[in-house]
Amino acid sequence: DKAQARRCWNKQQRLENVRARLRRGYKPSQGDRLRLLRRQYEDYLSRFCD
């Protein structure tokens, strides 16, 4: 449905932002958090989205 498609689109955008921040560089304290976020978004997308 449209709501799920919108959620998937939003998660994909957030995942792209996290990946960009990981590529661009980050403070050491942010690294673990960014990698955790990336993993959570990837898990969500693989489970609920095409």
pLDDT in tens, 10-32: 999 999 999 999 999 999 999 99
Q: How far apart are CA 14 and CA 5, in angstroms?
A: 14
Residue 2 reports pLDDT greater than 90: yes
Q: Coil, strand or helix: which one is 1?
A: coil
- 20-30: b (≥16 Cβ within 10 Å) or e: eeeeeeeeeee
pTM over 0.75: yes
Name the residue ranges covered by the structural domains of the chain.
2-48
